[in-house]
Chains A and B, each alone.
Chain A
Amino acid sequence: MAELSETYACAPSTERGRGILISGDPKTNSIVYTNGRSVIIRRLDAPLEASIYGEHAYQATVARFSPNGEWVASADVSGTVRIWGRHGDRVLKNEFRVLSGRIDDLQWSPDGLRIVASGDGKGKSFVRAFMWDSGTNVGEFDGHSRRVLSCAFKPTRPFRIVTCGEDFLVNFYEGPPFKFKLSQREHSNFVNCVRFSPDGTKFISVSSDKKGIIYDGKTGEKIGELSMEDGHKGSIYAVSWSTDSKQVLTVSADKTAKIWEIMEDGNGKVKRTLASPGSGGLDDMLVGCLWQNDHLVTVSLGGMINIYSASHPDKTPISFSGHMKSITALACTLQSGEKVILSSSYDGVIIRWIQSIGYGGRLVRKDNTQIKCFAAVEEELVTAGFDNKVWRIPLNGDQCGNAEPVDVGSQPKDLNLAVQIPALALVSTDSEVIMLRGLQVVSTIKLGYGATASTISPNGSEAIVGGQDGKLHIYSIDGDSLKEEAVLDKHRGSITVIRYSPDASMFASADANREAVVWDCVSREVKLKNMLYHTARINCLAWSPDSRLIATGSLDTCVIIYEVDKPASSRITIKGAHLGGVYGLTFSDENSVVSAGEDACVRVWRLVQ
């Protein structure tokens, strides 16, 4: 049996030029955000426990807890709102098609009976408010002509709804049943976020014109604005009130977060500026914020989540992050004596994870090229991307040294290092196999077939190349040349991955036809067959350090672990390991499997006998 022991969750997906809206539940100290088709709920005090809801059929945009904390309403780009139970089975309470385009913001009424959703209505209604259990409309929302970026529900009676959007307007509706009351055109650019204070007396709207305007909560009249002195120098993307309704937190494209004090007359003054601890690049633009109890949470464009303490804003914030795009490769290596898991996604981000601690930092690379596959040994990382180069990067802690490229002529399909001689690397492209010693291309061998996967034995004496026809070609490495020794023909689909066992006595190969086979190195006979339990192509394969277990991960989202000495039918299956498919697998020790996939998360599973 395998049980999930840790989840290194993904970061919220961000988009340049737009803010994102994260929300939370003060009672359980959790935050909720979306990435791809998943809705992620994380507890701020236990970042290793993240629960992920993956039932949306389209990309999810925003999610909110209900006021009583029992339900979550989440929305996606097709205009559907799903209301599901937060605990247990995530039972679906209701699903409504609310708008005809993407939904940008969603809020519950304070009694938990009504929900207002706003977004892009494609010419028809841009905002809809409905009862949570029946879906019946509770108002007419006209007054907007462009996408409505944010909406808010007044938290105290009499109920009011306020919406703001790309037409620079802030509209105020009274009800229920909600009707248009008045419109404010104070802003000169997109109004990104509008929020009521928790006591319901005021609401604030922030915009890309760098201004923040405060209005009266009951009438909708403007009462003041955030002072321009020491104000933001870039678009303000999100705003969040403190629980006592006296302060707000704003985040902006100028890479700072500011805490403002809202005075009685309705004007705001900067109380403190929080500079982000990053290096100041594009990725540090702040796009989302949340003020929850004592925590100030800010989210940057690069997916970094910083948590400051509101009572001690000078303390360095706790930062963590994750991948934002699907993870393509995973490796476990020792770094300065500590076991570290490295994962890379195709946009070139490599993140270090440390078991039981979680996020261990992002590897800062000097050139951010995209990565297709990588191999890691202690102190060095070799990556191959979508250009024709293979980069060798020396590692010191989480800094990368200068990467040195080697041009290999065409796009590398697979890359492997001889573990005992890290200088020797084997790169396979579509029609050739290239041997590298250090940064020198020592030989290029033309193959007569299309190669799809390759591997090199730990001691560098043998190499295996798998072809599109399912045949495995075994070569012996003699100095700088390859000599073909044998061809094994058992697979019925193109080979996707081949790996030697750590003790070099066996190797395992897997193909696109869902089958994996374990072979003995010396006799080249099949050692374990009938590993056919996947229902879609096998993407990755990993051996346990003692060469006793082998794990396969597939596009069908399952990870199956076989024991080499037992028949294939006695296997451990992990169903639904990663929504969208498992792309990376490695063993961190004898009993822990680490998997990574399309949902941008890394999970550690413990095998319990």
Chain B
Amino acid sequence: MGVADHCKDTFLELQRKKTHRYVIFKIDEKRKEVVVDKTGGAAESYDDFMASLPENDCRYAIYDFDFVTDENCQKSKIFFIAWSPSVSRIRAKMLYATSKDRFRRELDGIHYEIQATDPTELDLEVLRDRAH
């Protein structure tokens, strides 16, 4: 399973230049590699991100989460989300699960990882709890 070059580039853009709020990746079975599926502008919200994830298919995603800590400090953490809904096909789940490690190693600088199998596990509360 390969990783397309522009995946790493898009990730660096999110990390350094903060051009995107989120990036969604999918596995292109024909070319056997991970490609960028969709990116969201910096102004988009978490709900837009959740709406962009398909209900019946798996994806990988990166989300840049901004929050204010208890000490009134503005912080930003990058979340890697392995989206594998339980209603998706077993083949898809297996494919994404086995390739996840290889893909993650390419993305250097992720703070937290979340594995979500239904929309309730992707709640903003979950991200907030993990970040604190």
Which residues of A are in contact with B by a Cβ distance under 8 Å? 492, 530, 532-533, 568-569
Contact = CB atoms under 8 A, between A and B. Distances in A.
B123 interface: yes
A127 B63 CA distance: 62
Contacts of A532: 118-120
Closest 10 CB pairs of A and B: A532-B120, A530-B119, A533-B120, A532-B118, A569-B123, A530-B120, A532-B119, A530-B118, A569-B119, A569-B120
Nearest to B123: A569
Dominant SS among interface residues on chain A:
loop
Given A568-B119, A569-B123, 12 more contacts: A492-B86, A530-B118, A530-B119, A530-B120, A532-B118, A532-B119, A532-B120, A533-B120, A568-B120, A569-B119, A569-B120, A569-B124
A99 B49 CA distance: 58
A530 B117 CA distance: 12
Contacts of B120: 530, 532-533, 568-569
Contacts of A533: 120
Nearest to B120: A532
A413 to B, nearest CB: 27
Interface of B: 86, 118-120, 123-124
Contacts of B118: 530, 532
A569 B119 CA distance: 9
A496 B124 CA distance: 29
A569 B123 CA distance: 7
11 contacts: A530-B118, A530-B119, A530-B120, A532-B118, A532-B119, A532-B120, A533-B120, A568-B119, A569-B119, A569-B123, A569-B124
B59 to A, nearest CB: 17
A515 to B, nearest CB: 9
Contacts of A569: 119-120, 123-124
B45 to A, nearest CB: 13
Nearest to B47: A567
Contacts of B123: 569
B48 to A, nearest CB: 13
A597 B124 CA distance: 30
A130 B86 CA distance: 55
Contacts of A492: 86
A350 B86 CA distance: 42
A492 B123 CA distance: 21
Contacts of B124: 569
A329 B129 CA distance: 36
Name the residue among B86, B118, B120, B124 with the largest chain A CB count within 10 angstroms: B120
A492 B119 CA distance: 15
A281 to B, nearest CB: 50
A161 B119 CA distance: 62
Nearest to A567: B47
A568 B119 CA distance: 10
A492 B118 CA distance: 13
A568 B120 CA distance: 9
Nearest to B119: A530
A530 B124 CA distance: 15
A31 B14 CA distance: 62
B122 to A, nearest CB: 9
B119 to A, nearest CB: 5
A532 B86 CA distance: 12
Nearest to A490: B87
A569 B127 CA distance: 14
A569 B118 CA distance: 12
B21 to A, nearest CB: 19
Contacts of A568: 119-120
A532 B123 CA distance: 11
Contacts of A530: 118-120
A519 to B, nearest CB: 17
A543 B120 CA distance: 22
A568 B118 CA distance: 12
B3 to A, nearest CB: 31
A492 B86 CA distance: 10
A230 to B, nearest CB: 67
A162 B34 CA distance: 79
A530 B86 CA distance: 12
Nearest to A513: B86
A530 B119 CA distance: 7
Nearest to A532: B120
A492 B85 CA distance: 13
A568 B123 CA distance: 10
Nearest to A569: B123
A136 to B, nearest CB: 42
Nearest to A515: B118
A533 B119 CA distance: 9
A117 B123 CA distance: 49
B121 to A, nearest CB: 9
A492 B87 CA distance: 9
Nearest to B124: A569
A490 to B, nearest CB: 10
A569 B121 CA distance: 10
A533 B120 CA distance: 6
Name the residue among A530, A533, A568, A569 with the largest chain B CB count within 10 angstroms: A569
A558 to B, nearest CB: 13
